[in-house]
Structures are given as structure tokens and as C-alpha cells.
Amino acid sequence: MPRGSADPPGPPRGSARRAEFEALHGRYSREVWALAYARWMDPDLALDVTQEAFLRLWRQWEAGEDIQNPRAWLLRVARNLAEDTAKSSFRRNGTQPPELLNGVRSAQPGPAERLERDEMLAHVRAVLEELAPADRDILTLRYALDYDANTIAELLAVNVTAVHMRLSRARQRLADRLAAHPDFPPGPGPSA
């Protein structure tokens, strides 16, 4: 370049670019960080947004872009990055890979488990229909309505010991009938 000619307009070149970038970083990084921090109240995320804003400034300079007001440009980019972070699926869903999440079981039973449970309950209801009304009533009060022995005693106007005895005998008769049913899987009967 001939002597006396001025630098062409646009971003700084070479070591001048690096010095200008460091000066801008020293001048505006705290302000950019504060803007991002105000949005998320997360210092690490604010630092990420600040670094990304300055990286984008550097890339714009590398592409030959002339940025007239770097402070306003950095703040606008930081604001946009903070908003984009709010909308990102990474922020909403976290960093777990889908393969890991495939192993997470639902609190609800799966279709096969639900079908098996429904079939078992249908067998129990069928066997309950075969029991005497007194046995059905006391088992229903205890296991379907989840009443305790004291409440059942009040409802039936008997003492608590009689409720325990009737429940024990009704459970035994139900277990015997269920064991005799070919469709019902063997296992423990209802408990008190």
C-alpha cells in the first residue's frame, strides 16, 4: 500500500483486528454478560451467551462485515441468543440422549400388564359372585372400599374381633375357590 493512503473502510486487519477485538471485549463483555444474566439469572449461561456473541462478532469481521456500532450489535446478538436459548429444545428437554430416555418406565402399567390385571380382576369378580352374600359384603367393605376393621365393625354392628374372624374366613373361602379355578394363576391370596 502506498505511503499516505488511508486504510480501507471495514473491519480491522491482522494484529489491529486482534487488539480492537480485545478492546471491545474489555469494554463491553460485562454489559453483554449482565444482559444475558438478567434474562436467565444463571451466571454460566450468561457467560456462554457472552462468549457466543463475541465469537459471532469475530466471525462477522472474518467475513468482511463492517459493523458500525459494535456495542449495539453485541447487545442485540446477546438478547437474541438469550431468547433463542429460551425456545431451544435443549433448554426445555435437557441433555439426556433418547436411548437413555427409552429405558424410563411410566408410572402407569403398560398395555400387557393392564390386560393381565383386568383378566385377573374379572376372575376374582366371577369367583366372588359364587361366594355367600355375607362373605362378598365383608370382602367388598375391606378391599374394594378400603375400610378398616373398626369402620366395618360399626357398619355391621359387630365387634372388631368378629370382623377379623369373618374376614379371615371369607379370605380363606375366596382363596380356596380361586385355587380351584383353572384360569386363575396360583399365588398369594388377599392379605389383611
Residue 182 has pLDDT above 90, yes or no: no
Residue 78 has pLDDT above 90, yes or no: yes
Residues 70, 18 within the same domain: yes
pTM score: 0.43
Domain count, the chain: 2
DSSP classification of residue 145: S
Residues 82, 121 within the same domain: no
Q: What is the CATH number of the domain that holds 40?
A: 1.10.1740
71 located within any domain: yes
Residues 77, 140 within the same domain: no
Percentage of residues in the chain having pLDDT higher than 90? 40
Domain limits for position 176: 112-180
At residue 187, the pLDDT reads 54
Minimum mean pLDDT range among 16-20, 34-38, 92-96, 107-111: 92-96
- Residue 94 host element (H or E): none
Q: How far apart are CA 141 and CA 147, in angstroms?
A: 6
Provide the mean pLDDT of the chain: 83
2 located within any domain: no
Among residues 137, 131, 135, 162, the alpha carbon closest in space to that of 149 is found at 162
Residues 52, 118 within the same domain: no
Q: What is the CATH number of the domain that holds 126?
A: 1.10.10.10
